[in-house]
Structure 1
Amino acid sequence: MQRELLEKLREITEEEQRILDGEGQVDQDLYTSGKEFTVDSGKMLEEGKLIAVRTHTRFVYFPSHRHNYVEVLYACEGELINVIDGKQVTIRKGELLFLNQFTRHEILPAGENDIAINFMILPEFFDVAYSMAGSNNVLADFVVNVLRRDEERGEYLHFKVSEVLQIQNLLENMIYSLVTGKGEDNRINQTTMGLIFLYLLNSVQYVEMRVPNQYENMISMSTLKYIEEKYRTATLTELCSQLHLPMHILSKMIKKTTGFNFKELLQRKRLSKAMELMCDTDLPISDIIAAVGYENNSYFHRVFKERYHMTPRSFRIENRKNNNIRI
């Protein structure tokens, strides 16, 4: 991170100065209007804003609290120790912690050189990130659904991505624009977060998560990423080999956590990709069928019609009639 920006983030805030002067504890009135310590987006975000950023307040213990928005913590320097459901979760320089709405956590006192950023994000902010990921990205569906839940279940996603330079550069740009007051455009910030989101989806191997059935969910994310990247040639046998799991156990996990079996997930991805190619290109349908991994044309026509209630040719004609084609 640029030294100039880091020095600005290191400056002692008014709140921190009061703590250093002996105030000794968090002034909850700065964060909430209610009796319970729920940090309120109405206090933290200006009207009309979908995202805000502030430096994490150092030198003080944050007692158990939650938020009515999605919180993303990013460590610029040093570390920040959270306690979530009794478990210590330490985010170190370059790492990100996504906290679901209403996830309850505590934060241990940070030292002078522990510089962290709080992104305060309304759930609808992720709509752009979600659309950038593509309507047929099953992994994005999974991650966004985790973030949008409004239940107090201690859910988080911890991305250990300090070595992923693209993410670090995008975060620095975003922090700079918001901290300097040059980040007034929600759309630019949403697009930047969308790019970060895309890189994070490609970094599943670096994520630690806390959701119910953590191991099963991690296996499902690996499955969805595999289908996203290898849908042309993907097989359950190959995936079982990669994950070192018996086929009947993996099949049961996938069905339980996604609601679909492997064949259904693969078919949904292939059909969505075929539909995208029909809209975006002039490729013959037979070429599209081969491009998405089907070897049997008649089988493709049958499953396509079952899913979209029209033939591929009719779909393409209807799409062009509505001027939706983007060549």
Structure 2
Amino acid sequence: MNPEQLDQKLRTITKHEALYRCGMRRSLLKEFPVCCLDGKEVMQFSYAAISEENNGAPFLVKKHSRFRSYPLHVHDWVELSYMYSGSCVQDINDTEYEMKQGQLMLMSPGIVHTINKLGTDDILIQIALGQNNLTHGFFNRISSTGIVSNFLLNAFTSNNRLDDFFLFSSESSRRLRLFITEFLCEWYEPSPASYDMLNSLFSLIISELINTLNVTSDHPATHNKGTYVMPVLRYIENNYKTCDLQSAAQQFNLHPNYLSAMLKKYTGSTFNELVQHEKLTAAEKLLLNSDMSVTDIASFVGYQNVSYFYRIFKRKNNCMPNEYRKRSR
């Protein structure tokens, strides 16, 4: 399948959509379990009920049906929604969020939401990811040491965080559309190596999402809690050599105390701990992949005091830098 064939497939009116457009109303409440949350009837979806359709892949892809309204619902999987064409409005916890063409939303399990009726040109692609499949191994093609990727991963795998979503301002990303288009082409017309292709393309999608995070406060990803968390983490990743709490707070027009408390609340780490993590990760990579001296590496990643670098490196790795280099090579 090529991109032109994919586009035609996605825009074709399905049998169900033709009925919905003519006014037929299908009641899903009779087909799925219903619970009562905050005095409202909420439909419940489970990944187990749909997993037989996923052809062995750790996700299931579907196009959201147009021309009909959906009841409030909740599901036990992580959902990635991509606005392929047009726009839509998602009602999440009684607040409306508009998705524009090219934008992507990541939603964790347990969120009560619904999607307003879509028109002819509104193409919304939804990818369901079983939570049991979202492990560090699944994201092994993404830098496992990045504080942004770790934050995203933890947000959707931790049993203690079941009310997160992120709406990414990704509409200007050329590569995201390319990766998602190739992902969908592979899904709808699998190749012999489809499983590996889909996993690799999905990892590229997540990596590009991280790239789209704006490091200023102008257009951060919309997040139901701690709106600035991911842009700040991205800022630290890019500026760990020289940044401090004061300069980071100024970058995002936030009070240093507020920024510090926000990071601690949503990542479990202080600002300084996050910066140290990035510095030590960079130092570890240089120890393994270069012949630079330990003193030069310490200076390169932002440590002026070499003795301090030795001390915190040993605290993290239980060995000195030279021993780490010999042991790992």
Normalising to structure 1: TM-score of the pair? Answer: 0.86
The yes-or-no answer on 1:6 pairing with 2:7 is yes
Number of residues of Structure 1 aligned to a counterpart in Structure 2: 314
Amino acid at match of 1:208: A
The yes-or-no answer on 1:306 pairing with 2:315 is yes
Shift >6 Å, 4+ stretches = none
Change (3 A) 1:220 1:207: closer
Q: Which moved more, 1:5-14 or 1:247-256?
A: 247-256
The yes-or-no answer on 1:19 pairing with 2:20 is yes
1:232-271 alignment runs, 5 A limit: 232-271=241-280
How far did residue 41 of structure 1 move?
Answer: 2.0
Measure the CA separation in 1 of the matches of 2:47 and 2:258.
42
Specify which of 281, 290, 299 is matched with residue 299 of structure 2. 290
Specify which of 210, 223, 237 is matched with residue 228 of structure 1. 237
How far did residue 171 of structure 1 move?
Answer: 0.9
Are the equivalent residues in 2 in contact too, given 1:166–1:199 (CA < 8 A)? yes
1:43-58 alignment runs, 5 A limit: 43-45=49-51, 46=54, 48-58=56-66
How far did residue 29 of structure 1 move?
Answer: 6.8
Q: Deviations over 1:42-61 (max 9, x none)?
A: 34333632112111111111
How far did residue 105 of structure 1 move?
Answer: 0.7
Are the equivalent residues in 1 in contact too, given 2:241–2:302 (CA < 8 A)? yes
Report the counterpart of residue 209 of structure 1 in structure 2.
Answer: 222
How far did residue 142 of structure 1 move?
Answer: 1.3
Are the equivalent residues in 2 in contact too, given 1:25–1:61 (CA < 8 A)? no
Are the equivalent residues in 1 in contact too, given 2:63–2:126 (CA < 8 A)? yes
Are the equivalent residues in 2 in contact too, given 1:81–1:89 (CA < 8 A)? yes
Report the counterpart of residue 176 of structure 2 in structure 1.
Answer: 167
Amino acid at match of 1:185: S
Amino acid at match of 1:39: F
Change (3 A) 1:3 1:237: same
Change (3 A) 1:280 1:262: same
Measure the CA separation in 2 of the matches of 1:151 and 1:314.
38
* RMSD between superposed Cα atoms in Å: 2.5
Gaps of 5+ in 2: 36-42
Q: Deviations over 1:10-69 (max 9, x none)?
A: 222233244346541244577x4x345222323433363211211111111110111221
Are the equivalent residues in 2 in contact too, given 1:79–1:91 (CA < 8 A)? yes
Specify which of 188, 203, 223 is matched with residue 194 of structure 1. 203
Are the equivalent residues in 2 in contact too, given 1:74–1:117 (CA < 8 A)? yes
Change (3 A) 1:307 1:154: closer
Measure the CA separation in 2 of the matches of 1:82 and 1:209.
13
Amino acid at match of 1:284: S
Are the equivalent residues in 2 in contact too, given 1:129–1:191 (CA < 8 A)? no
Measure the CA separation in 1 of the matches of 2:169 and 2:235.
20
Measure the CA separation in 1 of the matches of 2:234 and 2:111.
26
How far did residue 170 of structure 1 move?
Answer: 0.8
Report the counterpart of residue 110 of structure 2 in structure 1.
Answer: 102
* Percent of residue pairs bearing the same amino acid type: 25
Q: Which moved more, 1:170-179 or 1:44-53?
A: 44-53
Gaps of 5+ in 1: 321-327
The structure with the largest helix share of the pair is: 1
Specify which of 78, 82, 88 is matched with residue 90 of structure 2. 82
The yes-or-no answer on 1:68 pairing with 2:69 is no
Q: Which moved more, 1:180-189 or 1:70-79?
A: 180-189
Change (3 A) 1:234 1:183: farther
Measure the CA separation in 2 of the matches of 1:250 and 1:92.
29
Measure the CA separation in 1 of the matches of 2:193 and 2:65.
23
Report the counterpart of residue 152 of structure 2 in structure 1.
Answer: 143
Change (3 A) 1:232 1:135: same
Change (3 A) 1:66 1:293: same
Specify which of 110, 119, 122 is matched with residue 111 of structure 1. 119
Q: Which moved more, 1:305-314 or 1:254-263?
A: 254-263
